[in-house]
Amino acid sequence: PQALYLADYTPPAWLVDRVELTFRLHPSATRVVSRIAFRPNPETANRRFFLHGEDLTLISAAIDGTPVTPDITPEGLVCDVPDSPFTWEAEVEIAPEGNTALEGLYMSNGMYCTQCEAEGFRKITYYPDRPDVMAPFRVRIESDLPVLLSNGNPVGQGEGWAEWDDPWPKPAYLFALVAGELVATSDTFTTCEGRKVELNIWVRPADQGKADYALDSLIRSMRWDEEFYGRAYDLDVFNIVAVDDFNMGAMENKGLNIFNSRYVLASPETATDRDYENIERIIAHEYFHNWTGNRITCRDWFQLCLKEGLTVFRDQQFAGDARSHAVKRIEDVITLRARQFREDNGPLAHPVRPESYTEINNFYTATVYEKGAELIGMLRRLVGPEGYDKALTLYFDRHDGQAATIEDWLKVFEDATGRDLSQFSRWYSQAGTPRLKVTDDFKDGTYTLNVEQQTPPTPGQPEKAPQVIPLAVGLLSPNGDEVVPTTVLEVTEAAQSFRFDGLGARPIPSLLRGFSAPVILERDTNAEERAFLLAHDTDPFNKWEAGRALARDVLVAMVTQGAAPAPAYLDALAAMVRDEALDPAFRALALGLPGEDQLAEDLHARGITPDPLAIHTARERLKSAVATHLCPLWVPLYDQMTCPGPYSPGAADAGRRALRLAALAHMARLDQGTKARAHFAQANNMTDELGALSILIEIGAGEEELDRFAKRWGKDRLVMDKWFALQTSLAAPDRAVSRTSSLTEHPDFHWKNPNRFRAVIGGFTMNAAGFHDPSGAGYDLVADWLIRLDAVNPQTAARMSTAFETWTRYDADRQARMRAALERIAGRDGLSRDMGEMVGRLLA
Ligand code: DPP
Ligand code: ZN
């Protein structure tokens, strides 16, 4: 397989004016008849007629009614065509029932559904399957199934058929079709433009009643996008369908979003607060794509961040508005560091806009999504909220209906604000996480911050130029008052100084407030300063960050020197937990410790080879020390943080439940889980039930409760995913491999279902000390399963190979074992293009 390069982009030779498709659905022999109006692209001289197509059986083809015999290749077909507009007609046969890769048209529990992003449409019919070819689609579906859906508006239906028309030109990756026995939860929404829109969330009959929260989230998203971006919905119906077998989280197909059922279905008994939050966020995300993704799409797949970074940024804004901006920011940064910084610091590092790929499925990454969203946040910080709003308005005006590029995106900001963004554009082309080294001086009332930036080499990019980094800072006086409120310094040079005059005493700096740029801040400081900021910082992110840094330093000292947990940390934590002025959700977050993988990364960054078992042990010791040291606080906190009234998934109650469970987790270390068992037995919602169960598992108890849980929920696939994931991710290090192996033999381990595979194997890869078992058995187990899954579902298998992306951090023995596991995968015959590219990059 060959790599593709951004630099090689050429416009399409042929454009499409209209697409008409007829589907005669059959599990093993679906016929797809296409009628496509082509015209030469006036902007190119190239007239070669190539249509993508994979795994299709061509039954017939004709041009303007005359049969033709194209040349078929594994990637598609070429055909002699006139040098003027013509109509292409073709009939192909496909077998959705045998489609285990879940790309194109496939079947899930008896229903037909599609996934076309990025390149699935070519498995449905011959077509120029590239996002810069946009056309209106009309679709006829013939099937005996009762519910037949496609994009756009319904234009007719009868016994065994339905027709849909989508007037908005779209690329093929936004095509969708669903057919099945489904029931809808419905409402209507009237847009600010006066359009009355029918909203339906379609689920299998057994799941009826679990779509209310998704529907509510959809309505709030529609309203929010009108209010904050001036974007109204543009069709008469908006359909969402929940599907059990799905590679991604969800898909923004025009007017017909298809969702992994875990991001639609919820009831208090079966879904946790986290599930509700995810549903809200992902419903919003896919809805927001209607403008940032669908109306304005990407010219080519190198521009993926154009729609994904922006849409993630928008869903983060929405969730912050709906919940708490401070808590949301902290959660987003935890995820960014855990996934994107990890990616950026390993062999898979790539720019937010990659310059080459072999399989685009491998680039739906934390870098494209989460770092892509950070770049939007930085832009907004640099040009200010009004500048941002002006630029976005221009973006929608100028590019509506187009397939655009990052250059187009930056140009609207330049045109709307007059700012030169040539240096900013490096954020899109340079991989790696910049290190920001900050030192300070104070003399005669002048405080100086000296800032140096440096970005380490990444694959293919040995040298980096300085980037523009918005560094938000505030200064506090020694008595805790804020003497300089938040100010954004623009770091543009490799080394630069910033002065603050007229200060009475040496201030304490609060740096990178709100995490104003996706960088690693390096500053020599001490526990007193961190404890001071934890107590006094007015910036909630940095308040949390100070506590997190304290915890990290304590853990590093415990791992490397066998030190006892520092009292300064424990005292600061106690003061924070007692502070009733703080949001319970914030306090719950502040009680959390950095994850084991994060600590391994931190140690590695300090030149220390991480030992996963030592990290695990230290973290457990610290949790127990916190439990003991803050002992008098837990029971009162637990008693105080109840939620009166019926279950509500809103931020206020969710925060109280989170803090209550945090208290319970510490109590369990003092009472051997007595209270947690009672909590489990009395739980009337999944947050409490699962929370108590995981607390028990973490202290090495909970076997009985696991059985009870399985008896109770055995028939609920989404709940059972949690049951599987809990065991593999939380098993004690010496038992994780055997536990995971035995769960792979469980009759309900339906490994071809991506959610279940991710629960069991993905859950295990999150268990750092288990996965990195010194014997290498964890690596072998994962490699075996990746090989097996790759043969049926390359996309999901390749995605999970990222479990190995940290291999260079570890000791020689572990490195050798991980390399061997990867080489074993690489050596398999018939490896997918997806997996081939991933292991190739991992081993390079
Ligand atoms: N469905 C995926 C997302 O929304 C890819 N577009 O991010
Ligand atoms: Zn998206």
**CA 308 – ligand 2 centroid, Å:** 5
Q: CA-to-CA distance for 272 and 266, rounded, in angstroms?
A: 8
- Residue with CA closest to ligand 1 atom 2: 251
217-237 burial: b if 16+ Cβ within 10 Å, else e: bbbbbbebbbeebebbbbbeb
- Mutating to test ligand 1, I would choose from 173, 247, 248 the residue with most ligand atoms within 8 A of its C-beta, which is 248
Residue 787, classed as helix, strand or coil, is: helix
Q: For residue 276, name the pLDDT band (cuts at 50, 70, 90).
A: very high
- The fraction of the chain above a pLDDT of 90, given in percent, is 100
Q: For residue 743, name the pLDDT band (cuts at 50, 70, 90).
A: very high
The answer to whether 172 and 121 have CB atoms below 8 angstroms apart is yes
What's the confidence (pLDDT) of residue 287?
A: 99
Mean pLDDT, range 432-454, rounded to an integer? 98
The answer to whether 221 and 251 have CB atoms below 8 angstroms apart is no
- The dihedral built from the CA positions of residue 269, 275, 277 and 281, taken in this order, carries a sign that is negative
> CB-based contacts of 678: which residues, under 8 Å, 6+ apart?
none
Pairing status of strand 135-142 against strand 111-115: unpaired
**CA 369 – ligand 2 centroid, Å:** 8
Q: Which atom of ligand 1 is nearest to the CA of 308?
A: 7
pLDDT 10s digits, 678-711: 999 999 999 999 999 999 999 999 999 999 999 9
Peptide bond into 710 cis (omega under 30): no
Residue with tokens 């709906």: 322
Q: Which two tokens stand for residue 1?
A: 């397989």
Q: Which atom of ligand 1 is nearest to the CA of 286?
A: 4
Q: For residue 577, name the pLDDT band (cuts at 50, 70, 90).
A: very high
What values do phi and psi take at 198, rounded to 5? -85, 130
pLDDT over 90 (residue 763): yes
pLDDT 10s digits, 36-63: 999 999 999 999 999 999 999 999 999 9
Q: How many CB atoms lie within 10 A of CB 174?
A: 26
Give the CA radius of gyration of the chain: 27
399-419 burial: b if 16+ Cβ within 10 Å, else e: beeebbbbebbbbbbeebbee
State the SS3 of 41-88: CCCCCCCCCEEECCCCEEEEEEECCEECCCEEECCEEECCCCCCCEEE
Q: For residue 350, name the pLDDT band (cuts at 50, 70, 90).
A: very high
pLDDT over 90 (residue 1): no
What's the confidence (pLDDT) of residue 474?
A: 98
What's the confidence (pLDDT) of residue 769?
A: 98
Q: Which atom of ligand 1 is nearest to the CA of 293?
A: 6
Ligand in nearest proximity to the CA of 315: 2
CA distances to 334, 554, 562, 617, 777 from 557, rounded to whole Å, are 22, 5, 7, 13, 29
pLDDT over 90 (residue 204): yes
What's the confidence (pLDDT) of residue 404?
A: 99
Q: CA-to-CA distance for 495 and 508, rounded, in angstroms?
A: 21
pLDDT 10s digits, 519-544: 999 999 999 999 999 999 999 999 99
Q: Which of 263, 213, 270, 212 is nearest to 242 (CA)?
A: 263
The answer to whether 172 and 129 have CB atoms below 8 angstroms apart is yes
What's the confidence (pLDDT) of residue 149?
A: 99
Amino acid of residue 89: E
Q: Which two tokens stand for residue 383?
A: 């040009």
Q: Which two tokens stand for residue 446?
A: 């002048």
- Mutating to test ligand 1, I would choose from 119, 241, 243, 252 the residue with most ligand atoms within 8 A of its C-beta, which is 252
Q: Which of 785, 786, 771 is nearest to 817 (CA)?
A: 771
pLDDT 10s digits, 791-809: 999 999 999 999 999 999 9
- Mutating to test ligand 1, I would choose from 254, 257, 286 the residue with most ligand atoms within 8 A of its C-beta, which is 286
Residue with tokens 């169960």: 693
Amino acid of residue 194: G
The answer to whether 427 and 353 have CB atoms below 8 angstroms apart is no
pLDDT over 90 (residue 764): yes
Ion ligand 2 neighbours, Cβ < 5 Å: 308, 311
Q: CA-to-CA distance for 731 and 702, rounded, in angstroms?
A: 11
CA dihedral of residues 53, 57, 62, 66 (deg, nearest 10) = 150
What values do phi and psi take at 151, rounded to 5? -75, 160
- The dihedral built from the CA positions of residue 552, 554, 555 and 560, taken in this order, carries a sign that is positive
Q: Which atom of ligand 1 is nearest to the CA of 364?
A: 5
Q: CA-to-CA distance for 449 and 434, rounded, in angstroms?
A: 18
Ligand in nearest proximity to the CA of 292: 2
Q: How many CB atoms lie within 10 A of CB 732?
A: 16
Residue 544, classed as helix, strand or coil, is: helix
**CA 156 – ligand 2 centroid, Å:** 31
Q: For residue 117, name the pLDDT band (cuts at 50, 70, 90).
A: very high
- Residue with CA closest to ligand 1 atom 7: 308
- The fraction of the chain above a pLDDT of 70, given in percent, is 100
User: End-to-end distance of the chain based on CA atoms, in angstroms?
Assistant: 16
Give residue ranges with CB within 6 A of ligand 1.
117, 248, 250-252, 285-286, 289, 308
**CA 248 – ligand 2 centroid, Å:** 10
Q: For residue 416, name the pLDDT band (cuts at 50, 70, 90).
A: very high
State the SS3 of 405-460: CHHHHHHHHHHHHCCCCCCCCHHHHCCCCCEEEEEEEEECCEEEEEEEEECCCECC
- Residue with CA closest to ligand 1 atom 3: 251
Q: For the chain, which domains are there?
A: 1-97+115-165 (2.60.40.1730), 298-429 (1.10.390.10), 435-521 (2.60.40.1840), 714-844 (1.25.50.10)
- Residue with CA closest to ligand 1 atom 6: 251
**CA 628 – ligand 2 centroid, Å:** 44
Which helix (H) or strand (E) segment is 94 a member of?
Answer: strand 86-94
The answer to whether 480 and 536 have CB atoms below 8 angstroms apart is yes
Q: CA-to-CA distance for 840 and 826, rounded, in angstroms?
A: 7
- Residue with CA closest to ligand 1 atom 1: 251
pLDDT, the chain, mean:
98
With a cut of 0.85, is the ipTM above it?
yes
Q: CA-to-CA distance for 781 and 817, rounded, in angstroms?
A: 12
Q: CA-to-CA distance for 687 and 696, rounded, in angstroms?
A: 14
Active site residues: 286
**CA 830 – ligand 1 centroid, Å:** 28
